[in-house]
Structure 1
């Protein structure tokens, strides 16, 4: 029976008190007997947590009491065990490293497209203005290999800091198209979409909530394979169930998020 609730969530919001928040959130998470990872930076919060549903949702409700986190909207999935080995809270320079300091999502997001609209665009072969639609995978190559959208653009980057250079090398291929950037849960494609707009591409959107929200809100059409996740489940199918993984792969998946 899948009785363990898993959530992933992020928000770009100024957190000058990230260091102080670290101890507070670690104490609260441990008190709730949760496991997972919370990343904090001056640019925001990114977290992956698992435990009993009441405890997980109670932790999020407590977070929402801080006005900066009032609109948190976690993505949910279920498992039969907790797919994390410990509870970690870390303060980092960026909650998702891009090494591009002019990208500040808290100061204004790029336009987003919801999963249902993207599914419709892919089904009809164009956006609502008749413009060709391409999906751009902003994840690392090993994640893409687990599954991606049909005909998605994949620049085979090995880490997100390579994305800006890859964009500049391939930008001309995206001109005059509607580009939908996507990733696991939305955090990377949000930064990617802002950068693409800064680089002069006009018709750029981020997939709201990433692949996980697409799985949650649609039937998963136009996506083949599963979605790599950074915990012991390793890969989720389009019904958000876990694909069987080896212990080695599970450990590698959990370690990847700690880097």
Structure 2
């Protein structure tokens, strides 16, 4: 058993004083030595954190002790060390940026548990639709899934026409941990799609509980691992090195801070090209030192682990 855990979770529930809750929650994470990224909004909570097993257990118990989050679903993975370098607990308007005119507490797609999804995904009347960004599904996606060339969920209205001809099908949306699908499936319902489902807990939960069958490639994650294996049944590699074209599932952030693109890059090209995706990026005078991982922690201004963004007015939602 590995000594650390990674927790991936979200929950839509009204938070009356989100600013006060953010401060309280930040203190809880500090007390438990957790690192990661957490978003607090009037509509709920969304986070990924890492910590020692006992600290993560204490965190999950503390969150579930709050009646508002009693039904929260934690996806738990074992790791050798922290997968984050800092702790960020931010206050925002939404727990996932979408700008979609929907409320998943009022209407959303039918939740499919991983076992139900596995049993249903190969039905000829079913279409799998990936609700993640293009750089995420480039490195991994479900076999036969529809993907959109979008940077974020706010662009979904621009792409929904691409599946308009599938309104008579059973649509199953999926994403990394399930949070995007809460709003994406609700939006599809609002656009006239009638048989809309979503993979509850996302790709990560499916991999943990059902072995990840038919997920090709790796799953992009938002910590310093960048991409992880989820398929223990019929794994394959679908992405190719951005530089040389050889098959690789190894993801990096370009070492040029002006670029920071997420691209597959094989180990050899990472070393040869200093972790950059183009020669122009390699010539960037602000080039970051490539350490072989391709992960670079942001350097936020005015933020400290102990205080957070105290310079913000407590009543102001962070943008």
TM-score (norm 1): 0.89
Match of 1:191 among 183, 192, 199: 183
Runs of 4+ deviating beyond 4 Å: 243-248, 252-255
Look up the SS of the partner of 2:99 in the other structure. Answer: coil
Match of 2:294 among 242, 249, 256: 249
* Aligned pairs, number: 247
Q: How far is the alpha carbon of 1:2 from its aligned partner?
A: 2.6
Structural RMSD (CA): 2.3
Equivalent residues of 1:230, 1:254 under 8 A apart: no
Match of 1:135 among 108, 112, 128: 128
| Residue matched to 2:313 | none
For residues 43-98 of structure 1, what are the alpha-carbon distances to aligned partners after superposition, in whole Å with 9 as ceiling and x for unaligned? 11001111111111111211122110111120011111101111111000111011
| Residue matched to 1:119 | 118
Q: Distance in 2 between the 1:133 and 1:171 partners? A: 13
Q: Distance in 2 between the 1:151 and 1:181 partners? A: 13
Q: How far is the alpha carbon of 1:170 from its aligned partner?
A: 1.8
Q: Distance in 2 between the 1:152 and 1:192 partners? A: 15
Q: How far is the alpha carbon of 1:185 from its aligned partner?
A: 0.2
Task: For CA contacts below 8 A with separation 6 or more, give which structure has more relative contact order.
Answer: 1
Equivalent residues of 2:169, 2:195 under 8 A apart: yes
Q: Distance in 2 between the 1:171 and 1:154 partners? A: 10
Gaps of 5+ in 2: 233-248, 253-290, 301-317
| Residue matched to 2:145 | 152
Match of 1:177 among 169, 172, 178: 169
2:226 pairs with 1:234: yes
Q: Structure 2 matches for 1:74-113, cutoff 5 A?
A: 74-100=74-100, 102-113=101-112
Gaps of 5+ in 1: none
**Which structure carries more helix by proportion?**
1
